Structures are given as C-alpha cells and as structure tokens.
Amino acid sequence: MEADPALWQEFTPLSQSIAATAREAPTRRAVADERKSLTWAELDALVDRIAAGLQRDGAPPRSAIAICASASVEYLAVFLGALRAGIAVAPLAPSSTSASLAAMIADCDAALVFVDASTRETFETIALDRPRITLDDSSAGEAFTRWLAPEGAKPRPVEVAPDWTFNIIYSSGTTGAPKGIDQPHGMRWLHVRRSALFGYGPDAVTLVSTPLYSNTTLVSVFPALAGGGAIVLMKKFEAREFLRLAQFHRATHAMLVPVQYSRIMALTDFEEFDLSSFRMKFSTSAPFGAALKREILRRWPGGLVEFYGMTEGGGSCVLVAHEHPDKLHTVGVPVEGQDIRLIDEEGREAPVGEIGEVVGHSGAMMSGYHNLPDKTREAEWRDASGKRFIRTGDVGRFDGEGFLTLLDRRKDMIISGGFNIYPSDLEAVLSARADVAEASVVGAPSRTWGETPVAFVVPAPGASLDAEELRGWVNARLGKTQRLAAVRLVDRLPRSAIGKVLKRELRDLFGQAD
C-alpha cells in the first residue's frame, strides 16, 4: 500500500479501541439486534473467545476467514474476533450463487466459514473442505456456541500492522466475476479518523439497515465502534420498521442508500415518527437525486452527507448537503489531502472544465485485487511522476468551485453513431414527469448506429403510462443524437442488495434494436 508513513504514526487497530472502550465503559450498550444486546464488556469478552477459537483451530495471522450470513450480533463479533487475531475477513453476500460462493471461498483460502440458517440450503450444495460454523446454532454447520473457546479465554496477542489486510470485499459481480478487494487496516483507520467530523462518539447510536458484507455498511459501522457508540442491527430493511427502530433507540446516525431514502420518504405517516435525535445521515453507492436530497433536508432532522468513492479507495468526495443546498446535483468536493483528477480516453489529464474519467489518490487505497495482479494494474493510473491513482470508471466534470458532477459510469456511456450519450442526461428528463417513479437508460446494440439508447421506466403509483407517448414527449426535449429508440414499462428495476440498478440485466433483457 503506497501512502505517507506519517499517516500511520497514530495507527490504532480497531480491536484495541474496542478493548479500551470495554475498560472505560463496561456496562454501556455496544451492539444489539432483534434478539439480544451486548455491553462493551460482553462484546470484548466474546471477541476474545472468538479470536482464541480461531487460534486454537490453527488460523494464523494474515490468513482469512469467510462469513456468509444475515446481520447479527454474532456476525459482527466474529468479524472483530478475526481482526483481533490478525486475520482478514471476507464477508460474502448470501444472495450469491453456490458456484460463486465456492469460488470466493477458494480465492481467499478461508480457514473457516461462518454461516447461518439463511444460507444453509446454498451451502448444502457446496463441497467445503474446511470447517463450517453456524452463527445461530442451526443445522447449517457446527454450532457457534459449541465452537467458541471457553468463557474467560484470551487469545495470544497479535501486533497488527497498517498494511495487513483488514477485509477482502468481493465486488458484486454485476460487471463480471466478483473480484476480491484487499483493504488494509490502514485504510480502515483513515475512515475512523475521518468520522470525527460527523459527530460519532460514546453517546452515538448508529442504526444499520444495509448488509454487513457491503463496504457501504462497513464505512459507518467501524467508525461508530471506534468512537465507542452503540450499533443497532436490522436483519432486513423495511422502511416503516426502520423509522420505528430509529425512534425507539433514539438513533443519531444512519447510512442509507438512495433507494432506501426514497422508500422512507414515500411513507404517508413519515411525520408521525420522532426523528429529532438524528445528528447525521449518510448515503453512498448509487446516484442520489438532487430532488430527493432536498426533500430529506426539508423533512428529516439532522445533517445529510453524501460520500462518493470506490470500495477500492483512491479518492473520495464529500457533499455536506445541509451546508451546500445549491450543490445538491453534485457529489461534493475532494476530501482534504486527497488528489482527484480527470483523464481522457488516452489516459491524459483532461483540461479544467472538460469531461473525463475520475481517478483518485489518497492514503485510503486498496492493496490490490486479491490474486489478480493484472486486474489491479488495469484499475490503476499513474501520473508523470509515477504517483498511483485508482480509476473509478465514472465520468464527471468539476465546476469552478471544485464540486464534482458525475455524468455516468464510463462503461454505461452510449456511443451512438460516433456520438457520446450519457444516460444520466436522459434519465433526468424522464424523471421530470410526475407519472414516472424511476427510469434507467441503457445502450442496446443497433445495426444502424452501433448502440442506441433505450429506457426502462417504472410508472408512478396509480399512473397510466403509454410507452410511445412517453418516448415522443422525451425525444421532443432531447438533442437529435440522444433520442430514445424505445421505452419499456416495467414493474421495478433490477437492483443489487445495496440499491444499484443492474444495467447489465436491462441490456440483456432488451436485446437488439434496429
């Protein structure tokens, strides 16, 4: 990992922060789910027992374990126990296919695999040659309570270095086979340092409603833990239940993806919930419309911050929306000390004001793609001095005040008859109609133009849409090269578990245009 060594002078492993909080506030609540709650002393003791169990089973420092389960107190404790033993964690999506899970477990060479009842059927089809532990004591594997080291067990101390792998986050696979992203301890430490700006502390209560295998979730969970606050875990998101829990637990912080905000704000009884305890709400991972940001700022107490960046790291932008209500169409400005630039198709830096692919350099960068050196090199760009940047694949433009506006994913840009078309421009026109709930534009193969834009549209509740009428209305407001070849009305857009529209599935669904 290339970074300024000065960044690591104050490096403190997360497991040490947890132990320190357990000594300072042993009876304060640390983590809760729908079944149980643990104090900091109880969490620290459980983390010790897990770390000791991993060492007993021969898992050495710098090896890996895998977790594939629903969010729970035990899930989080196993993650932390592995870190205390110097072991990396590969959190895997339960929605993955058995073939994909087998490949990811083999790729990270997990010493043990932790599962629960929700993944039992999938794992019954996988021939694992390593121990399988079931976090909920179900029949999916060896019972967690029997596997644990005895009460009072202490692991052998392990001195964790900043460049050791903290976790291996596997990409969703929406653009091909999942790649393991090696994130070092130092990268997570910088996330913790940044969190001091957003009100995390001993009295913070973070409500977690996104899955624990997602980097979206983890960038808020670990700062909350390091700050000594409480974590409340939801096994599955439901908009009204989220509000009920937020009111009951007096939540101060939450990370939500845009589609979750949209569902919450659409509730007719939203105003009936007391959300006055909120200090800060966050969002990342998917396009966040300016109109939705504006509505949240108007109706939901507390600040709103949008993070833009990659799981791979490199560079991040932050939009403190409540301080910049005139910049809601942007993803904010680069984080202080981070170097974000734009490059053209030939890899040259784009002139100021021009469109280009976003690349970034910071202390928070992945070590690389796990076991994929060629893919790692493809994801990198170096300037004339040899400085390493991570390519985002996003196309954007900086305004005169340094705010970044994203235009689209580079791979989603449509090249029709030699002209570049940005789907986000077309989606913005479609979304201006009150009878359109959601819209996504993709490029379909065309014998005439190479590619041509087509739209998938979800009608607003109660609306009666005519696809051809809508296409004509939109095309009348677009440039000649941008016009839609077709509009398909659908009940919903396919999304990943954290709300990203799966455009590849839409392209496959459409087939070929004329």
pLDDT of 388 strictly over 70: yes
Q: Which pLDDT band, with edges at 50, 70 and 90, does 2 fall under?
A: very low
pLDDT, tens only, 137-159: 999 899 999 999 999 999 999 99
Residues 63-94: tens digit of each pLDDT = 999 999 999 999 999 999 999 999 999 999 99
Please indicate, yes or no, whether residues 226 and 362 belong to a single structural domain of this protein: no
Residue 391 falls inside a structural domain: yes
Q: Which domain CATH number covers 167?
A: 3.40.50.12780
C-alpha dist (Å) from residue 35 to 73, 232, 252, 319:
9, 11, 21, 36
For 403-433, the DSSP string reads -EEEEEEGGG-EEETTEEE-HHHHHHHHHTS
Residue 502: pLDDT over 90:
no
pLDDT of residue 514: 53
- Residue 107 CB neighbour total at 10 angstroms: 20
On the 0-12 / 13-18 / 19+ scale of CB atoms within 10 A, 154 is exposed
Residue 173 has pLDDT above 70, yes or no: no
pLDDT-above-90 percentage for the chain: 72
366 and 494 co-located in one domain:
no
Domain count, the chain: 3
- pLDDT 10s digits, 212-260: 999 999 999 999 999 999 999 999 999 999 999 999 999 999 999 888 9
Encode pLDDT of 52-67 as tens digits: 999 999 999 999 999 9
Same domain, 70 and 112: yes
Strand spans (E) along 12-106: 29-32, 37-39, 64-68, 88-91
Last residue of a domain, one of 374, 389, 409: 409
Using one digit for the tens of pLDDT, what is the confidence trace for 36-55? 999 999 999 999 999 999 99
Residues 93-106 have pLDDT tens digits of 998 888 889 999 99
With residue 121 as reference, give the H or E element that holds it: helix 120-124
* Structure confidence by residue, pLDDT tens digits, 14-30: 999 999 999 999 999 99
Give pLDDT, residue 368.
Answer: 93
Instruction: Say if residue 69 is in the same domain as residue 143.
Output: yes
Cβ atoms of 230 and 206 closer than 8 Å: yes
Mean residue pLDDT of the chain comes to 91
Does residue 4 surpass a pLDDT of 50?
Answer: no
Is residue 267 in some structural domain? no
Domain end call among 219, 236, 253? 236
The whole-number pLDDT of residue 311 equals 85
Give a yes or no: residue 272 inside a domain.
no
Same domain, 367 and 483: no
Helices then strands, each counted (H, E), the chain: 15, 27
CATH, residue 393 = 2.30.38.10
Three-class DSSP category at 27: coil
CATH of the domain at 486: 3.30.300.30
Q: Do the Cβ atoms of 406 and 422 come closer than 8 Å?
A: no
Residue 309 domain-assigned? Answer: no
Residue finishing a domain among 378, 393, 409: 409
Does residue 355 sit in the same domain as residue 491? no
The mean pLDDT value for 111-124 works out to 94
Structural tokens at position 255? 């990370």
Residue 444: its H or E element: strand 436-446
Regarding beta strands 303-308 and 317-320, do their DSSP bridges make them parallel or antiparallel, or are they unpaired?
Answer: antiparallel
144 and 89 belong to one structural domain: yes
Burial code (b: 16+ CB inside 10 Å, e: under 16) for 72-81 equals bbbbbbbbbb
Tell me: do 426 and 394 sit in the same domain. no
Task: Tell me the residue range of the domain where 452 lies.
Answer: 413-510
Distance CA 110, CA 47 (A): 19
Which of 217, 280, 282, 204 is CA-nearest to residue 76? Answer: 217
Cα gap 280→252, rounded to integer Å: 6
pLDDT(458) > 50: yes
Query: Is a pLDDT exceeding 90 seen at residue 195?
Result: no
Mean pLDDT of all residues in 325-339: 94
Rg (CA), the chain: 23
Q: Flag whether 443 is in a domain.
A: yes
What number of other Cβ atoms are within 10 A of residue 420's Cβ? 14
> How confident is the model over 396-440, as pLDDT tens digits?
999 999 999 998 777 787 878 767 787 888 998 999 999 999 999
29-32 and 110-115 beta bridge pairing? unpaired
Residue 393 CB neighbour total at 10 angstroms: 16
Nearest to 484 by CA among 470, 465, 464, 505: 470
* pTM for this model (two decimals): 0.83
The verdict on 487 and 462 lying in the same domain is yes
CB 93 within 8 Å of CB 497? yes
